[in-house]
Amino acid sequence: MCLALPAKVVALDEAGDLATVALDGVRKQVSTALVEDVALGDYLLIHVGYALNKISPDEAERTLALMAEAGLIAEAVASEEEGSTAA
């Protein structure tokens, strides 16, 4: 199963279209080439090392709460890490 995970932007490298995002204590550098006007504090949907689009903080919190309730956060983070290293 493939999931796009909401993660918060904690650092930007605008010269290389890259951002560092954080989710559940894990930080990861992702490409922001597909998303315009990314800023610190934005929530992005991340899939296999790429930001797909921005989402509101409320939507990110609701999605993360549902995933946590279902026990999927750790599994999804591990899956995202595996997917980005396999590419």
Global confidence as pTM? 0.79
In 1-87, the DSSP E strands lie at: 5-13, 18-23, 26-31, 43-47, 50-55
Average model confidence (pLDDT) across the chain: 86
Q: Which of 56, 59, 77 lies closest to 5 in space, CA to CA?
A: 77
Is 33 a residue whose pLDDT tops 50? yes
State the sign of the Cα–Cα–Cα–Cα dihedral 71, 76, 81, 83: positive
Would you identify the CATH topology of the domain 5-86?
A: SH3 type barrels. (2.30.30)
pLDDT per residue over 38-68, tens digit each? 999 999 999 999 999 999 999 999 998 988 8
Query: CB burial class (10 A; 0-12, 13-18, 19+) of residue 42?
Result: buried
pLDDT at position 87: 39
- Cα-based distances in Å from 33 to 13, 45, 55, 71: 11, 13, 16, 31
